[in-house]
Amino acid sequence: MTDNEPQRIGELPVSIFRITPLDTSSTPQHASAETYDVTHPLALCLTADCDHSTPTRFSFTAALIADADHSDTHGMFTLARVLWRLRYQGAAVEAWAALNPGQWLYSLLPAWIDQADTGQWADGEPAHRRVLAVGRLRSADTYTWADPAPIPDPPPLYPDTYYMTVLTPVPPPAIGHPAPT
């Protein structure tokens, strides 16, 4: 890895996303969350940048990417617009990918903030893919889980958690806003 050269560390095809605004202390505002379902999966991609002056320090960036011929333009641009609107306060981004009946791959990005340049990310993408949104990931030293939680007995997040991906039997929440409690 050379200076300023991000390394792709993962890509997951995802069709269900929950976007939760963060408050000024980076606490998720679960009552304001919204769940989206796109008809064809988008790629949720992660990269790591190493600070070579401190080799143990990384920064992480995430992107939502669609094939150029993606048919759900409304859904994919809605997600991009919501992330853009929350770029200063930040958002928790959760994603579910169905694996088998009753089994999901769940990813949590606890703090997606300030949109990075989609053009810079697009430089490394094939022409048949469109970069919709790019965000820098901030670590979450604390995180409050939604109720019900997306994974059984959710653990506290460790300091400097930028993302997590786990298998879960818990299905994603209903599309739209959560029911009032």
- The mean pLDDT of the chain is 86
Residues forming beta bridges with residue 103, ordered by sequence position: 100
- Does residue 77 fall inside a structural domain? yes
Sorting pLDDT into bands at 50, 70 and 90, what band is 23? Answer: very high
Give 94-111 pLDDT, tens digit per residue. 999 999 999 999 999 999
What is the residue range of 97's domain? Answer: 7-168
Residues forming beta bridges with residue 39, ordered by sequence position: none
- Does residue 65 fall inside a structural domain? yes
Q: What percent of the chain has pLDDT over 90?
A: 46
- Does residue 174 fall inside a structural domain? no
Structure tokens at 91: 């958002």
Indicate the pTM of the whole model.
Answer: 0.89
- Does residue 46 fall inside a structural domain? yes
- Does residue 1 fall inside a structural domain? no
**Tokens 């790591």, residue located:** 48
**Tally of structural domains, the chain:** 1
